[in-house]
Amino acid sequence: MARILISGGAGFIGSHLCDKFIQDGHEVIAVDNLITGSIENIEHLFGHPNFSFIKYDVTNYTHIPGHLDYVLHFASPASPIDYLKHPIHTLKVGSLGTHKMLGLAKEKGACFLLASTSEVYGDPLVHPQPEDYWGNVNPIGIRGVYDEAKRFAEAMTMAYHRYHKLDTRIARIFNTFGPRMRIDDGRAIPTFITQALQNEQVTVFGDGTQTRSICYIDDLVEGIFKLLFSNYAEPVNLGNPEEISIIDLALEIIELCNSSSKIVFKDLPEDDPKVRQPDITKAREILGWEPKVSRSQGLLSTIEYFRNKLLIS
């Protein structure tokens, strides 16, 4: 049985990781300051003997009594409207928070995993994006607070790996979706689903030709596990390489919801990446991982989750 700290443990991805580690018989300490995470995501784990929760901001010095085997740093606002709303927190948790979590892992002799992002590639000029592409990021743009914080976080993680010989992993996570995304996080999938379920206009930004490649949460969690238990310290892309334009995604969601919604076009936000698709050759070869859940299967489970959410809210 391993003892694991997950920062951002009450968030969308963090809470699914808590579930998986608990299911596998490990002990989990979830830490979250709840600015974008939610207690509802983990309330079913309260009272479990192997689970504990600490409401805390990991940009501060963090002391955890006892040993730790793994530190997973998932704390960060992660949707464009969240990091626009919390620009300084986003920069701090990616920089100071990563430093504190690395320091904790070093103190405990634990393995550290960083939740990095496809945003390190910015608005990419290479397509699909392999890990050795250095990216095209506007450091002073509105998304720069997230992109640059995560780029700094990767640099810091590699420095701890090289200088302190810390055992580290870097997951570059591409667009992921599933139950427990926030209804109001502003991202395309929760927004389109809630609009379609209520037969409201579906808001497509720009002309909708920009692309994304979306991965279902269960596949991502399996990828994180495989990376964690590998011994590979360089960054690994985790995402579903099946690419779709945003307009086609909106139409697919409208159809899967049996909705009468129509599409309405809105302004494209500043620095919105035009394309995004992971090259997952490394994940396939090094981890033996690739996504298994089809887009429609994943969307149907997510739609079910939001249908229930809308009923009770």
In the complex, the residues that contact ligand UDP under the rule CB under 6 A are: 79-80, 175, 187-188, 191, 203-205, 210, 212, 246, 268-269, 272
What burial class does residue 135 get, using C-beta atoms within 10 Å of its C-beta: 0-12 exposed, 13-18 middle, 19+ buried? Answer: middle
141 or 269: whose CB is closer to ligand UDP?
A: 269
Choosing from 83, 146, 160, 216, the catalytic residue is 146
234 or 271: whose CB is closer to ligand UDP?
A: 271
Give least dist CB 187 to ligand UDP, A: 3
Give least dist CB 117 to ligand UDP, A: 9
What CA–CA distance (Å, rounded) separates 155 from 168? 12
DSSP 56: -
Radius of gyration of the chain from Cα atoms? 19
Per the structure block, which two tokens stand in for 87?
Answer: 């620009």
Q: Using DSSP, state whether 313 is helix, strand or coil.
A: coil
Handedness of CA 133, 119, 9, 221 (dihedral sign): negative
Residue 146 is among the residues annotated as catalytic for this protein: yes
Instruction: Write down how long the chain is.
Output: 313
Give least dist CB 65 to ligand UDP, A: 37
Q: Using DSSP, state whether 37 is helix, strand or coil.
A: coil
2 or 81: whose CB is closer to ligand UDP?
A: 81
Give least dist CB 39 to ligand UDP, A: 24
Give least dist CB 293 to ligand UDP, A: 18
What CA–CA distance (Å, rounded) separates 269 from 276? 16
**Phi-psi category of residue 122: left, alpha or beta, with phi > 0 → left and psi -120 to 50 → alpha:** left
95 or 175: whose CB is closer to ligand UDP?
A: 175
103 or 208: whose CB is closer to ligand UDP?
A: 208
Per the listing, tokens 């500043």 go with 270
CA 208 to chain CA mean position, Å: 23
Give least dist CB 90 to ligand UDP, A: 13
210 or 277: whose CB is closer to ligand UDP?
A: 210
Q: CB-hemisphere CA count at 13 Å for 302?
A: 30
**Phi-psi category of residue 39: left, alpha or beta, with phi > 0 → left and psi -120 to 50 → alpha:** alpha
What CA–CA distance (Å, rounded) separates 169 from 153? 12
* Closest C-alpha among 124, 97, 85 to residue 14: 97
Per the structure block, which two tokens stand in for 293?
Answer: 């859940």
Catalytic residues: 146
